Amino acid sequence: MIEFRQVTKRYGSDHTALRQVNFGLERGELVFLTGHSGAGKSTLLKLIMVMERPSAGEVIVGGQVLNTLPRRQVPYIRRHIGVVFQNHQLLFDRTVFDNVAMPLEVMGTPARDIGRRVRAALDKVGLLSKEKMNPLQLSGGEQQRVGIARAVVNKPPVLLADEPTGNLDPDLSADIMRLFAEFSQVGVTVLIASHDIALINDLGRRTLTLDHGRLTAGVGAAGSWHG
Amino acid sequence: MANESRRQQSRGAKSGRSPWREQAESYLSHHHKVARDSARRLWQSPLASMMTWTVMGVALALPVALMLLLASLEGVSAGWESSARVTAYLGDSVSIDEAQALKATVTDDSRVAEVELIDRDTALEEFRASSGLEDALDYLDENPLPHTLLVTPSESSRTADGVEMLLTVVEGLDGVERVQVDLGWLQRLNAMTDLLGRAVWALAMLLAAAVVLVIGNTVRLAIENRRDEILVAKLVGGTDAFVRRPFLYTGAWFGLGGGIVALILLQLSLWWLSGPVERLAGLYRSEFSLNGLSLDGALALIIAAMLLGWLGAWLAVKRHLDDIEPGEIAGG
Ligand SMILES: Nc1ncnc2c1ncn2[C@@H]1O[C@H](COP(=O)(O)OP(=O)(O)OP(=O)(O)O)[C@@H](O)[C@H]1O
Ligand SMILES: [Mg+2]
């Protein structure tokens, strides 16, 4: 589903954020991405989102080589990738429902389908009763779940999360991880960047570890990606 | 990987299979929603919107008012052209018989509609009656005035050029000492309306550019205010067209408001000026009248205003929206 081939990312001429990164993720896999601060985790996710372009190597998502993707094609790739950030980027000038509906609106989904799918996504994260509220009225954990609902509302085959449990308490974090695990069970490829080593070890999933831009562990854990 | 790509393609095919009619409906309803939403946002800050509309209205009303005035002036000069007459003063030595012969010659010319001969005695009488110099004239030994021919050009020659032609022909005749016509005055008016016309167009262009810049700047502020929304829209796969749309509508609505304000201003000044203008025209026995915008003209003004607003928004969007990339929200 996602493949990196000898990917190097340099910022400016001197700073190298990623060095010759190689790995592959299968459909339905849930994988963690760890590493010290500044190791290049967010950079790696941005390359998948085409927010950044690699300096060398190839990034392939769903069989599409993203390096040469023309700018105007980028939105269509992003529609296949759900993202969740620590700072969840909800909009406070509209309701929870309207926040979750955004990915469907940009795709031009007919209005009645929007209602059905937004409610399905909110139900999934346990917030169906709060669809009419403003995100400001929700707790941090609830806001994070709205962000997740928005990321999955159009059923993307790939879900990326950058520190999704950053400032949540352990119970909430575990809840959210359970949600991600559910998505991966229905075939979504999930990649979660996180510092939370304890949580990651608990779950015992494949883990990619970055150290100063180099991938030091987890490359072949799933074994079959190069087939 | 190959499986994955096939899966993705089938996803694409699935959305393509939904009837185009439904797609079109959803597209239209999206436009409808965005248009309504942009309008509502303008209403929500009435003072700021009103100020932009007024600035735009003044900038649009000014050149249109000048154009209307110019059109009215051209109507006037057309009226005067048709009454232009060539006056030919004959030499002192020309007798009344020779003058009659000259009159016959000129009358034969196809460019001439009518010729009137005023003999020197009649001329003196008229002059005496109209000048109030009766006493002074009594001191003169002899009549200083020559015989005069008043030549009215035929219909087809009642243009500035036509009258000029006729003038040279009459001037060339034996016995004609001097010719005179109000043509100089006519030409001045023509040249002046011509020049004014160009000046008004130049002014209109400048003000249109100003309108575009004002709207561009206003829309730039709107873009800044909705930065988060733009970031999220781009993050979840909104195309450039999708992200630009609300701002283009905002520009068009600014244009609509500006056009309406311009129409109101024009109507008000017309109403305010019409009394004095009628009185003035009456004094000069002129057919001059100030005309307002026709329905077509009003419609054209509004459409032009909306296009200018749209253009301003488009420039702002082109310049500032493409810079906003969601990379920055991903954070560290
Ligand atoms: N836009 C940028 N311009 C220049 N350097 C950048 C940019 N983005 C990231 N970097 C650098 O690249 C390196 C990797 O950054 P990245 O954000 O990927 O780290 P991270 O692993 O996500 O760290 P953290 O755990 O703190 O979020 C850092 O040294 C950072 O300074
Ligand atoms: Mg980071």
Minimal C-alpha gap between B50 and chain A (Å): 23
B240 has a chain A CB within 8 A of its CB = yes
- Best residue among A11, A52, A160, A209 to mutate for probing ligand 1's pocket (most ligand atoms within 8 Å of CB) is A11
> pLDDT at position B12, please?
42
Which atom of ligand 1 sits closest to the CA of residue A36?
25
A49 has a chain B CB within 8 A of its CB = yes
> pLDDT at position B285, please?
60
CB B152 within 8 A of CB B112: yes
> pLDDT at position B182, please?
62
CB contact under 8 A, A75 and B331: no
Measured in angstroms, how far is the CA atom of residue A186 from the centroid of ligand 2? 27
Confidence bin at B14 (pLDDT 50/70/90): very low
Residue with tokens 């989904």: A109
Residue with tokens 């929500």: B44
Residue B51 has pLDDT above 90, yes or no: yes
Measured in angstroms, how far is the CA atom of residue A11 from the centroid of ligand 2? 15
> pLDDT at position B305, please?
95
Which helix (DSSP H) or strand (DSSP E) does residue A158 occupy? strand A158-162
> pLDDT at position A9, please?
92
Residue with tokens 């562990």: A217
CB contact under 8 A, A63 and B235: no
> pLDDT at position A68, please?
84
Residue B4 has pLDDT above 70, yes or no: no
DSSP string, B315-327: HHHHHHTTT--TH
Secondary structure (3-state) at B208: helix
Q: How far apart are CA A196 and CA A165, in angstroms?
A: 8
Stretch among A113-122, B4-13, B51-60, B291-300 having the lowest mean pLDDT: B4-13
* Gyration radius (Cα) of chain A, Å: 17
CB A160 within 8 A of CB A82: yes
| Better-scored residue on pLDDT, B134 or B221 | B221
Q: State how beta strands B86-90 and A214-217 pair.
A: unpaired
Q: How far apart are CA A91 and CA A101, in angstroms?
A: 12
> pLDDT at position A157, please?
94
> pLDDT at position B328, please?
59
Which helix (DSSP H) or strand (DSSP E) does residue B5 occupy? helix B2-17
> pLDDT at position A1, please?
87
Q: How far apart are CA A111 and CA A137, in angstroms?
A: 26
pTM reported for the whole predicted model = 0.74
| Better-scored residue on pLDDT, A208 or B26 | A208
CB A45 within 8 A of CB A160: yes
Confidence bin at B9 (pLDDT 50/70/90): very low
Q: How far apart are CA A190 and CA A180, in angstroms?
A: 7
Residue B44 has pLDDT above 70, yes or no: yes
Confidence bin at B184 (pLDDT 50/70/90): low
Ligand 1 atom 31: residue of nearest CA:
A38
Q: State how beta strands A64-65 and A81-85 pair.
A: unpaired
As for ligand 1, residues whose beta carbon falls within 6 Å of it are A 11, 15, 17, 35, 37-43; B 332
Q: Is A146 exposed, middle or buried (CB count within 10 Å of its CB: 0-12, 13-18, 19+)?
A: buried
Measured in angstroms, how far is the CA atom of residue A28 from the centroid of ligand 2? 24
CB contact under 8 A, A75 and B232: no
Which atom of ligand 1 sits closest to the CA of residue B331?
17
**Segments of chain A scoring below 50 in pLDDT:** 221-227
> pLDDT at position A225, please?
38
pLDDT in tens, A106-122: 988 888 889 999 999 99
CB contact under 8 A, B330 and A3: no
CB B262 within 8 A of CB B57: yes
Which atom of ligand 1 sits closest to the CA of residue A12?
4
> pLDDT at position A85, please?
83
| Better-scored residue on pLDDT, A226 or B114 | B114
> pLDDT at position B303, please?
96
Which atom of ligand 1 sits closest to the CA of residue A46?
18
Confidence bin at B71 (pLDDT 50/70/90): confident
Measured between its terminal Cα atoms, the distance across chain B in Å is 30
> pLDDT at position A78, please?
92
> pLDDT at position B286, please?
63
> pLDDT at position B175, please?
85
Within 10 A of B182 (CB to CB), how many other CB atoms are there?
Answer: 16
Confidence bin at B8 (pLDDT 50/70/90): very low
Six-digit token string for B237: 């796969």
Q: Is A109 left (phi over 0), alpha (psi -120 to 50) or beta?
A: beta
Which residues does residue A35 pair with via DSSP β-bridges, in sequence order? A210
Domains in chain B: ranges and CATH: 35-79+188-321 (no CATH), 85-181 (3.30.70.3040)
What is the residue-averaged pLDDT of chain B? 82
Percent of chain B with pLDDT over 90: 30
A143 has a chain B CB within 8 A of its CB = no
pLDDT in tens, B280-311: 777 766 666 677 788 899 999 999 999 999 99
In 3D, which of A99, A84, A105, A177 has the Cα closest to residue A138?
A99
> pLDDT at position B266, please?
93
Which residues does residue A61 pair with via DSSP β-bridges, in sequence order? A2, A64
> pLDDT at position B56, please?
93
Q: Mean per-residue pLDDT for B264-271?
A: 91
Confidence bin at B13 (pLDDT 50/70/90): very low
Measured in angstroms, how far is the CA atom of residue B331 from the centroid of ligand 1? 8
Minimal C-alpha gap between A57 and chain B (Å): 18
Six-digit token string for B60: 């649009």
ipTM of predicted complex: 0.87
CB contact under 8 A, A106 and B30: no
Helix/strand/coil (H, E, C) string of B6-42? HHHHHHHHHHHHCCHHHHHHHHHHHHHHHHHHHHHHH
From chain B, pick out residues whose CB is under 8 angstroms from the CB of A110: 22, 25-26
Chain A window 155-184: which residues touch B at a Cβ cutoff of 8 Å? 157, 162
> pLDDT at position A191, please?
94
CB contact under 8 A, B236 and A37: no
Measured in angstroms, how far is the CA atom of residue A44 from the centroid of ligand 2? 9
Residues counted in chain B: 332
Stretch among A170-174, A205-209, B16-20, B63-67 having the lowest mean pLDDT: B16-20
